[in-house]
Amino acid sequence: MKKSRMKKVFSNKYFVVGLLISLSIIICAIFADVIALHPYDEINLINKLQKPSMTYYFGTDMYGRCVFSRVIYGTRIVLQVGFIVTAIQLLIGVTLGLLSGYYGGSVRRIISFITDITWSMPSIVMSLAIVTILGPSLTNVVIAIALVGWAQYTKIISAKAQTLKNLPFIDAARVLGESDFNIITKYILPNTINQIIILVTLTLPTAVLSTSSLGFLGLGAQPPAPDWGVILAEGIKFLRPAPWISIAPGLSLLFVVLGFNILGEGLKEILDPKYGS
């Protein structure tokens, strides 16, 4: 039974393609030292603004640093930020969503008030404000993006929890003598997994994009950190003579965002208990 389920899982094209892309990014991050040709901050002014070649796959930038190596090391920042931000958002958003949806009444009113306030602020402006107060650094960027983006989890999980709690199986659980905590964690939460996964696949790429945006604006990771946004910003000034500096991190971003989205699509299909039967 288990084997056939595995087979079904791997016959899902979305899942396989998404998994391959995501794995390739994770491998790049873990083995960056091996894959990269040069240290990401090795300056070699003689070879500045070199075209892509066999020694420099993606060419070099204005300091002669290897763009390929910088992009590879950049995956570490991308993954770190993506996962930490998503984890914080999940924790805040899902917890508040479950509480507001399950208890309703004034709990719901208070939580949706806070959510609405967070929701109504333009995320990048809000992150800018937080980073300006806390000072530009990658940690502060993580905090800023996480604090801005949890609201959509709360909204969607709350709505879902509200429909779920009126279903007879929640009554059944109550009749059996389950506590509120057990009902929320064992009956409501597992039934929101689909929503959570869709949200994760939406917020993870958004988090990556926001980090890069803040990096691009000079408020995130600071040079010479190989943040993709930073690399993009540096390349802008040389867009005509050396477009590869900006194209490489730009395409990488596209690749990552696409990969996570496809993976999410596949996971969504697989996690449905009706899948494949």
Nearer to another protein (CB atom), residue 88 or residue 188: 188
- C-beta of 140: minimal distance to another protein in Å? 38
User: Residue from 187, 216, 244, 260 that binds another protein (CB under 8 A)?
Assistant: 187
Nearer to another protein (CB atom), residue 135 or residue 168: 168
Distance in angstroms (rounded) separating the CA atoms of residues 269 and 18: 13
- C-beta of 104: minimal distance to another protein in Å? 8
- Tell me the site size for another protein, rule CB under 8 A: 23
- The 8-class DSSP code of residue 185 comes to I
CA-nearest of 240, 241, 242, 250 to 215 is 250
CA angle 222–251–16, rounded 5-degree value: 115
- C-beta of 259: minimal distance to another protein in Å? 27
**Total count of residues recorded for the chain:** 277
CA-nearest of 72, 67, 41 to 247 is 67
Question: For residue 223, is the peptide bond before it cis, meaning its omega torsion is within 30 degrees of 0?
Answer: no
Classify 276 in phi/psi space as left (phi over 0), alpha (psi -120 to 50) or beta: left
User: Residue from 26, 116, 171, 243 that binds another protein (CB under 8 A)?
Assistant: 171
- Tell which positions 39-98 bind another protein, by CB under 8 A: none
- C-beta of 4: minimal distance to another protein in Å? 13
Identify any residues that bridge with 66 across adjacent strands, giving them in sequence order: 60
Nearer to another protein (CB atom), residue 33 or residue 272: 272
- C-beta of 41: minimal distance to another protein in Å? 49
Distance in angstroms (rounded) separating the CA atoms of residues 179 and 72: 49
User: Residue from 34, 133, 175, 240 that binds another protein (CB under 8 A)?
Assistant: 175
Asked if residue 191 binds another protein (CB under 8 A), the reply is yes
Asked if residue 274 binds another protein (CB under 8 A), the reply is yes
- Tell which positions 129-168 bind another protein, by CB under 8 A: 167-168
User: Residue from 5, 109, 186, 237 that binds another protein (CB under 8 A)?
Assistant: 186
User: Residue from 125, 134, 193, 254 that binds another protein (CB under 8 A)?
Assistant: 193
Asked if 226 contacts 75 with a C-beta cutoff of 8 angstroms, the reply is no
- C-beta of 171: minimal distance to another protein in Å? 7
Identify any residues that bridge with 144 across adjacent strands, giving them in sequence order: none
Nearer to another protein (CB atom), residue 106 or residue 120: 106
Quick one: tokens of 277? 């039967």
**The one-letter amino acid at 266:** G
> What Rg do the C-alpha atoms of the chain give, in angstroms?
22
The region of 48-56, 126-134, 175-183, 244-252 touching another protein under the rule CB under 8 A is 175-183
- C-beta of 195: minimal distance to another protein in Å? 12
- The 8-class DSSP code of residue 190 comes to G
Strands (DSSP E) along 33-87, which ranges? none
Quick one: tokens of 136? 């530009």
Q: Which residues make up the interface to another protein (CB under 8 A)?
A: 1, 104-105, 167-169, 171-179, 186-187, 190-191, 193, 273-274, 277
